[in-house]
Amino acid sequence: MSLYDLEAFLRAIHPFQLLNRQEMAKAMNAMNIAYYKKDTTLIAPHQLSEFLYIIIKGEVGEYNEGELIKVYSKSNSFDADALIYGKSEETFTVLEELICYELKKEDFLFLLEVNTPFKEYFIQDLANKIQSAKQKEYTTELSGFMMARVQDSYLHEPTVVGKECSIMEALKQMELKKSSCIIVELEGEDIYGIVTDSVVRRHVLFNEYDKFGPIGPIALHPMITIEAEDYLFNALLSFTKYSIKRIVVMRERKIIGILEQLDLLSYFANHTYLVAVQIRKAESIEDLKQASCDLINIVKKLQAKGTKVDYIAKLISEINEKIYEKLYTMIMPKELAIKACLVVMGSEGRKEQLLKTDQDNALIIADDMNESLYFPYMQTYTQTLIDFGFPRCEGDVMVSNPYWCKHAKAYISEIKRWFDIPSMEDYLRLAIFFDAICVAGDASMLANLKTYVYERVQIGSPFMANFAKAAVLFETPIGLFTNLIANDNKIDVKKGGIFPIVHGVRSLALENAIPETDTVTRIKKLAKISIFDDNFADTLIEALDTLLNLRLKERFKKGDNVLVYDNFITISTLNQLELELLKDSFKIVNKFKKFLTHHFKLGMVS
């Protein structure tokens, strides 16, 4: 690699672009290229580091007491803290054959002394690591992250070219701007595609696409974007959900920069991405099981630092969906997998499952396939999830039950019966099914069934009133003088508050054909179409968050070895603030019940 290429490589890595020309020249002159075989230990508590390593190719794992806690890949550097403090609590081992630059310790420390912004970047990152190592559970670090916007993070300058621009010209512009990807204008100014180094490599090197040909045909689209004013946490959700390394940042439909995964993770060191990587790389069911084991610790850390339960649930749901999808592809032959649709329902479908509660899943099979071919694999699927820690559903709402593993036309017949001659159990089945989302296979099968559900709702009948009335069946545990009504000092917050909100909102969403499944988004959508006002929507969301958060804290007190969690909280263990929040939440629940009674005319339903 020439000095020009080396400088381009370094300036594309934050914070090396903060170095001035003289400092960059010193850094480059001090660097050497090194090669290490797989399983080579580079740094360890007993093996002091002499270099800052910057990866060109390969992967390195960071271990703490034998546990893999982070993976470093191309353009990542490590380990600044070992050089600054002269020791390391972690071990760094080569996972895939490594080619890297080595910057000597004395030269790295010199750059820290002469360039303050460069130093602040590494010291700030180190402070977060020290804080984590001391296991200070209650800090304001995450709260700051939750309030931070995408525009607050470091954004890389984008390289934008027209679709007729040649690949070579686009690459030159990319080098000039030190970008990590190329944005391609496809149709006018508002439709874009993206080209990364892996896209170029695949088409030019392996598919022999003309490197002087137009770049438009190889651009990936639609590309994944995020608004500059959006929260960084939502960017983290996107990185986890789509397994991407960068996301395009927009403002008023214009591209303003590129948010790199590495920059986001340096802003907030979160273990969720590592879990997502382990899931993606799992080669056996045992590998997948190990990747799923640490989710409860992620939930505990996020909850302890004040994260809204809705955010935690969405993040954990994205990871769980990856587990379900990966397991499906491992167990099911491809020719069968593509002719079916695996769905999760209930709290999993609503993205509100925080801990491993009982399974709610189903399989929709293409009508031209033999149902019996799927049954053995679905038995294995259910049992494997049980082995992973997802308990068996007491109501048998699982793919191992033939009722929830059948042809699409059989579901149509069943949905028709739910509407025509429904039993109480059928109302429950529809409620569970309406929350369904596809996690693997042909998503159009589920979409077609939901379209049929919407069509049946629009026919008009007493069905919706009977469906919605379950939301007001249970008494709210609060008295006339706002005193909490408990039994043996315990309150069932699901019956008392969570279920009335979830099912009431679900009923309104079904009536208005709102396709989103999570309760918070449904509430926002209902406010947008003026079912109720924005202020009430906000209070309803806060009430739900309070109830879910108090239930989660109670479940943590019971430890990790509980097979099935209940929904009770012990009010004597709540502090004064929590008691007041609980009372206020139940007041909002009562107000919502009155709204539902009026809206669906529940007083006329027996």
Secondary structure of 9-64 as H, E, C letters: HHHCCCCHHHCCHHHHHHHHHCEEEEEECCCCEEEECCECCCEEEEEEEEEEEEEE
For the segment 483-508, the average pLDDT, to the nearest whole number, is: 94
Q: Which two tokens stand for residue 129?
A: 């690591």
How is the chain split into domains, by residue range?
A: 3-134, 152-267, 272-461, 471-604
Q: How confident is the model at residue 273 (pLDDT cuts 50, 70, 90)?
A: low
> Strands across the sheet with 340-344, in order?
405-407, 361-365, 340-344, 437-441
For the segment 115-133, the average pLDDT, to the nearest whole number, is: 57
Residue 134: its pLDDT value, please? Answer: 29
Contact 272, 240 (CB under 8 A): yes
For the segment 36-50, the average pLDDT, to the nearest whole number, is: 92
CATH architecture of the domain 471-604 equals Up-down Bundle (1.20)
CA–CA dist 102, 166 (Å, integer): 35
CA–CA dist 179, 72 (Å, integer): 20
Q: Closest Cα to residue 305, out of 269, 339, 340?
A: 269
Could you tell me which residues come within 8 angstroms of residue 32 by beta carbon, excluding any fewer than 6 positions away? 101, 102
Could you tell me which residues come within 8 angstroms of residue 537 by beta carbon, excluding any fewer than 6 positions away? 523, 524, 526, 527
Place of tokens 């850094």: 27
CA–CA dist 106, 515 (Å, integer): 58
Q: Percent of the chain at pLDDT above 90?
A: 47
CA–CA dist 312, 291 (Å, integer): 18
CA–CA dist 472, 466 (Å, integer): 11
Nearest-Å Rg of the Cα atoms of the chain is: 27
Residue 560: its pLDDT value, please? Answer: 63
CA–CA dist 153, 264 (Å, integer): 7
Tell me, which fold does domain 152-267 have in CATH? Answer: CBS-domain (3.10.580)
User: For the domain bounded by 272-461, which CATH number is listed?
Assistant: 3.30.460.10
CA–CA dist 281, 563 (Å, integer): 29
pLDDT greater at residue 197 or residue 476? 476
Residue 401: its pLDDT value, please? Answer: 95
Q: How confident is the model at residue 425 (pLDDT cuts 50, 70, 90)?
A: very high
Residue 129: its pLDDT value, please? Answer: 33
By three-state DSSP, how is residue 118 classified?
Answer: helix
Tell me, which fold does domain 3-134 have in CATH? Answer: Jelly Rolls (2.60.120)
Spacing of C-alpha 572 from chain mean position: 35
Res. 491: pLDDT tops 90:
yes
Could you tell me which residues come within 8 angstroms of residue 210 by beta carbon, excluding any fewer than 6 positions away? 167
pLDDT greater at residue 129 or residue 287? 287
Average pLDDT over all residues of the chain: 86
Contact 344, 321 (CB under 8 A): yes
CA–CA dist 422, 25 (Å, integer): 76
Q: How confident is the model at residue 126 (pLDDT cuts 50, 70, 90)?
A: very low
Kindly report the number of other CB atoms within 10 A of residue 147's CB atom. Answer: 12
Q: Is the dihedral of CA 401, 402, 405, 408 positive or negative?
A: negative
H-helix or E-strand spanning residue 554 = helix 534-557
Residue 70: its pLDDT value, please? Answer: 73
H-helix or E-strand spanning residue 231 = none
**Which of 258-267, 574-583, 591-600 is the most confident on average?**
591-600
Query: HEC states along 493-504?
Result: HHHHHHHHHHHH
Spacing of C-alpha 321 from chain mean position: 9
Taken as a whole, the chain contains a residue count of 606
CA–CA dist 94, 61 (Å, integer): 6
Q: Please provide the DSSP assignment of 88-156 as one string.
A: -SSEEEEEEEEEEEEEEHHHHHHHHHH-HHHHHHHHHHHHHHHHHHTT--S-SHHHHHHH-BGGGS--B
Res. 432: pLDDT tops 90:
yes
For the segment 470-483, the average pLDDT, to the nearest whole number, is: 86
Could you tell me which residues come within 8 angstroms of residue 432 by beta carbon, excluding any fewer than 6 positions away? 345, 346, 360, 397
Q: Which two tokens stand for residue 459?
A: 């026919």
Q: Which two tokens stand for residue 377?
A: 């694999």
For the segment 498-525, the average pLDDT, to the nearest whole number, is: 95
The torsion region of residue 230 among left (phi > 0), alpha (psi -120 to 50) and beta comes to: beta
Q: How confident is the model at residue 265 (pLDDT cuts 50, 70, 90)?
A: low
Q: Closest Cα to residue 282, out of 330, 233, 345, 240?
A: 330
CA–CA dist 126, 590 (Å, integer): 49
CA–CA dist 443, 432 (Å, integer): 17
Q: Is the dihedral of CA 440, 444, 445, 451 positive or negative?
A: positive
Q: Furthest-apart CA pair in the chain: how many Å?
A: 84
Dihedral of CA atoms 203, 204, 209, 213 in degrees, nearest 10, equals 110
DSSP 214: B
Task: Provide the terminal-to-terminal Cα distance of the chain, rounded to the nearest Å.
Answer: 79
pTM for this predicted structure = 0.62
CA–CA dist 600, 379 (Å, integer): 41
Q: How confident is the model at residue 127 (pLDDT cuts 50, 70, 90)?
A: very low
Residue 563: its pLDDT value, please? Answer: 60
CA–CA dist 252, 228 (Å, integer): 9
